[in-house]
Amino acid sequence: MCLGAQARAANRAAKRDYEYSLVRREADWMQQLALTKAEQVEYDIGLDKSQIYTFDKYAELQQEYNLAFGEAIQGDEANWKKFLQNSTASNMLASGQTGRSVARQSVLDFGDYVSKAGRANYMLTQNEYKMKQQAQQIFNAQKINEDNLFAKVMYEKQPDLEPPKPVYQSVGAAMFSDALGIATSIIPILPK
């Protein structure tokens, strides 16, 4: 039996366990870094998709508004043609009538035209308000989506705490204890 052998074996085992813990900690940290990079790439892709979706929705809204505006302009053009062709005041003037009744009828005809144009303008304005509300909803949805994406990557990863260094047994004390144990086992054998 070698003096202090158990202490040496325990120290070797503690050192081996400590070194394994360091290697395992580094491997876990590298794995965490790789996952963090993947999450960051996923975040960037998510942001790009969110912005593309938002821009597409804005373009759709703008196209709807442009169509409504075009329809209003075409409707006003048709309304103007009807006003010029079917004006009672114009027909009265063409038949040779003059005076205040023709002037009054001219004002009434123009008022009817302006009234129709005003209704079309009102509808266009309402459409614009609706479009702005939808755009705000799209913006809010994009903001919520981007906040959710950011929540996944907002915390900076940290490596685990380093495992504590092992407390080694004193080989000298173990040798002394072993020697003392041997000595005490020999002492009863000696004659008195």
**In this structure, is residue 23 part of a structural domain?**
no
- Asked if residue 67 is part of any domain, the answer here is yes
pTM of the model: 0.61
The CA distance from 95 to 52, in Å, is 63
pLDDT of residue 106 exceeding 70, the answer is yes
Question: Mean pLDDT, to the nearest integer, of 63-73?
Answer: 89
Assess whether pLDDT exceeds 80 at residue 5. Answer: no
Domain, as residue range, for 73 = 45-152
Written as one string, the DSSP assignment of 32-99 is: HHHHHHHHHHHHHHHHHHHHHHHHHHHHHHHHHHHHHHHHHHHHHHHHHHHHHHH-HHHHHHHTT--S
138 close to 60: Cβ distance less than 8 angstroms: no
Using CA atoms, how far residue 53 sits from 46, 50, 88, 92, 150, in Å, is 10, 5, 53, 58, 17
pLDDT at 150 over 80: yes
> Would 180 be classed as within a structural domain?
no
What are 36-56's pLDDT values in tens digits?
Answer: 999 999 999 999 999 999 999
User: Across all residues in the chain, what is the average pLDDT?
Assistant: 84
pLDDT at 192: 56
| Distance in angstroms (rounded) separating the CA atoms of residues 4 and 15 | 16
Q: Is the pLDDT of residue 183 over 70?
A: no
Q: Higher confidence at residue 183 or residue 157?
A: 157
Q: What is the pLDDT of residue 135?
A: 92
In sequence order, the 6+-apart residues with CB closer than 8 A to the CB of 76 are 117, 120
CA distance 163 to 20: 10
The count of domains in the chain is 1
Does any domain span residue 61? yes
Asked whether residue 127 carries a pLDDT value surpassing 80, the answer given is: yes
